[in-house]
Structure 1
Amino acid sequence: MLISRRPIAPLTALVDTLWASERGAMPHAREANLPTGRVDIVIPLLAHQVITRFTSADDAQGERFQGAVIQGAQDRVHLRDTHMASAVVGVHFKPGGAAAFFGGALPELHNRTVLLDELWGPSVHVLREELQETRSPHDRLLRVEAYLMARLQHAAPADAMVMAALRTLAQQPGSAVIEPVQRASGCGPTQFISRFERSVGLTPKRYARVLRFHALIQTLALETPQDWALTAAEAGYADQSHLIHEFKRLAGMVPSAYRAVAPDHPTHVAAPSFPRRRE
């Protein structure tokens, strides 16, 4: 079971989606989460539920978290454990939206997962307990929404320059070029990069690379291309070789190996080194 919805205003400017999920063990032991360039909060609700993140297919132990976590903006694939039952509530921020709640911490969270209470303190434990006591997934989302609204009262305003730059980049994700966006901002290159990274968690160049990749996998999740050279050109890559190189860099696999768990979840892939188990 997965439900999601948009938050109410004024959270809509900062948060893309609030979601809740309950499921049994997945038929694959690990799942690759491909980079989105966005920040996420994940709150596990089962009593002994542990979130485990792996740095690579060779990582046998992983890093284990018992409690709510924040996942910083990613520009590389990370693996998660999916072989146990799970009940979670999550927050998927818009690009630049998380900075209002986490200030200058986002650059340090790049490609990292950390416990949320390290940034928000003991109120995170109270929220988790309240969510565990709430049976309705819809009501859980309302509770998270209320919690974020309360924190928003003390949040810093979003950087208008960065938000404008993000809107410009989103208009042409396959051909986003940083230099004209930087010039239009009125900032010098160094200041532009610094403010962008503080708000997004990635440098402009890294973010543009992820944006192009994310647009590509939205297409690949629906169908496998017959002409990869044409696909590369349409997606904004110099040629097929460039597409393959970038795909391996961000996804940890070649494009032909990419198979989304479901078309509406293009960033979730059953990890190829950990095949589906027989029932």
Structure 2
Amino acid sequence: MTAPTTHPDSLVNRALVGQTERMEYVGRVPAPPLDRFIDDIYCLTGVPRHRRMNVPPMPSAHLFLNLGEPARLWDSDPSVPPAMLSDGWFMGVWTRRFLFEFPARVRLVGVHFKPWGLSPFVTMPATELRNRWVPVDDVWQRSVERIRDQIGDIASAAETLRVVEEELRSRFAEAGRGLDLVRHTGERLETSYGAVPVRALAEDAGVSGNHLATQFTSHVGVTPKRVARIYRFAQLILSVDARGPVDWAGLAQTAGYFDQAHFGREFKDFTGQTPTQYLALRRRFPAELGFPPDNGPMPAD
């Protein structure tokens, strides 16, 4: 799921309107220095238009605090058992798709971290959060009930976001040089949508490619090459406008895919669908413009 770009002190309020119900998203970018590691903090409430969402790899890690009914998650790897999560969970960077099922009525507080963004807030190794959902109390011991109690009865989304931001600020710890290196090179991948070669990133930083890969694995859970792939794919899929003809070859080349066969394989691997199947799905279930939870994830029902 992607995050809006807003001023740190502003709120973004987007409602998905149905016939009688709506899903409301209220989010904001936290104030510095958290904004270097977090894209946004948000509240998601109401009745979802689609219960099941197929979520491709996106350039983010997550924290979810569930104030409503349990949510269900399935890994695209069939060897991983599904989970029902009721309180809260962390998710590191995912390199494959997963399936998320909303409850009938949603009340959820979330944090979109940048790929390297969890590192200053948790002591668990990033590799142990990669492609996994982990209960909050396994990461922040004996904290989820206290946090839920703080925000459980708050009616104002703005106040809820303030409480969560203060919790994050209390847990923020400046990391060493390794994270500075990862953040600097990660930001270049972010702004270039993964187009800067990893070799150039390492040379510009004055380190070897192996050293850069080691630091990324330590703080992100995956290599910079993998992060670049995810940024590249995210840029492509968010560029698709299903309302008109789609020039897949042109989009793929713009995103840095110069081998069409490779593009087709990666698209199917990341979404579970061919580009043609994906386009048909988006035309059947259009993403709501300006509604961040519709960016990237696809209806699976």
User: TM-score category by the smaller chain?
Assistant: 0.7 to 0.9
Q: Distance in 2 between matches of 1:42 and 1:171?
A: 26
Q: 1:9 and 2:32 equivalent?
A: yes
Q: 1:37 and 2:56 equivalent?
A: no
Which SS does the other structure have where 1:111 is aligned?
coil
What whole-Å deviation, never above 9, does each CA across 1:171-197 have from its counterpart, x for those lacking one? 322533111212222222322111112
Amino acid at match of 2:73: R
Q: Return 180-189 or 200-209, whichever deviates more.
A: 180-189
Q: Return 262-271 or 203-212, whichever deviates more.
A: 262-271
Q: In the alignment, which of 154, 176, 191 is matched to residue 171 of structure 1? A: 191
The structure-2 alpha-carbon separation of the partners of 1:162 and 1:78, relative to structure 1 and needing over 3 Å to count, comes to same
The structure-2 alpha-carbon separation of the partners of 1:85 and 1:207, relative to structure 1 and needing over 3 Å to count, comes to same
Amino acid at match of 2:25: L
Q: In the alignment, which of 255, 258, 261 is matched to residue 287 of structure 2? A: 261
| Conservation of the 8 A alpha-carbon contact between 1:261 and 1:270 | no
The structure-2 alpha-carbon separation of the partners of 1:223 and 1:103, relative to structure 1 and needing over 3 Å to count, comes to farther
Which SS does the other structure have where 1:267 is aligned?
coil
The structure-2 alpha-carbon separation of the partners of 1:202 and 1:218, relative to structure 1 and needing over 3 Å to count, comes to same
Which SS does the other structure have where 2:110 is aligned?
strand
Residue 16 of structure 1: CA displacement? 1.2
**Larger relative contact order (Cα-Cα within 8 Å, sequence gap ≥ 6):** 1
Residue 237 of structure 1: CA displacement? 0.4
Q: In the alignment, which of 146, 154, 163 is matched to residue 134 of structure 1? A: 154
Amino acid at match of 2:171: R
Residue 209 of structure 1: CA displacement? 0.7
What whole-Å deviation, never above 9, does each CA across 1:86-121 have from its counterpart, x for those lacking one? 100011112322111124521111111110110111
CA-atom RMSD in angstroms: 2.3
Which SS does the other structure have where 2:170 is aligned?
helix
The structure-2 alpha-carbon separation of the partners of 1:104 and 1:82, relative to structure 1 and needing over 3 Å to count, comes to closer
Which SS does the other structure have where 2:258 is aligned?
coil
Q: 1:18 and 2:41 equivalent?
A: yes
How many residues align? The count is 268
Q: 1:156 and 2:175 equivalent?
A: yes
| Conservation of the 8 A alpha-carbon contact between 2:76 and 2:96 | no
With normalisation by structure 2, the TM-score equals: 0.82
| Conservation of the 8 A alpha-carbon contact between 1:37 and 1:202 | no
What whole-Å deviation, never above 9, does each CA across 1:46-104 have from its counterpart, x for those lacking one? 2xx21211113979972112211001101111101125211000111123221111245
Amino acid at match of 2:191: Q
Residue 223 of structure 1: CA displacement? 4.8
Identity over aligned residues, as a percent?
Answer: 28
Which SS does the other structure have where 1:99 is aligned?
coil
Q: Distance in 2 between matches of 1:242 and 1:85?
A: 40
Residue 124 of structure 1: CA displacement? 2.3
Q: Distance in 2 between matches of 1:95 and 1:237?
A: 22
| Conservation of the 8 A alpha-carbon contact between 1:37 and 1:75 | no
Amino acid at match of 2:272: G
What whole-Å deviation, never above 9, does each CA across 1:109-146 have from its counterpart, x for those lacking one? 11111101101111222001111121211111010011
Amino acid at match of 2:55: N
| Conservation of the 8 A alpha-carbon contact between 2:71 and 2:102 | no
What whole-Å deviation, never above 9, does each CA across 1:20-51 have from its counterpart, x for those lacking one? 01012x343411112113111010112xx212
| Conservation of the 8 A alpha-carbon contact between 2:89 and 2:135 | yes
Q: Distance in 1 between matches of 2:245 and 2:136?
A: 40
Residue 239 of structure 1: CA displacement? 3.4
Q: Distance in 1 between matches of 2:66 and 2:171?
A: 20
Q: Distance in 2 between matches of 1:174 and 1:121?
A: 35
Quote the residue 2:206 is aligned against.
186
The structure-2 alpha-carbon separation of the partners of 1:61 and 1:196, relative to structure 1 and needing over 3 Å to count, comes to closer
Shift >4 Å, 4+ stretches: 57-61, 221-225
Which SS does the other structure have where 1:187 is aligned?
coil
Trace 1:23-172 onto structure 2 (pairs within 5 A).
Answer: 23-24=46-47, 26-46=48-68, 49-56=69-76, 62-103=82-123, 105-152=125-172, 154-156=173-175, 159-172=179-192
| Conservation of the 8 A alpha-carbon contact between 2:240 and 2:246 | no
The structure-2 alpha-carbon separation of the partners of 1:18 and 1:27, relative to structure 1 and needing over 3 Å to count, comes to closer
Residue 8 of structure 1: CA displacement? 1.5
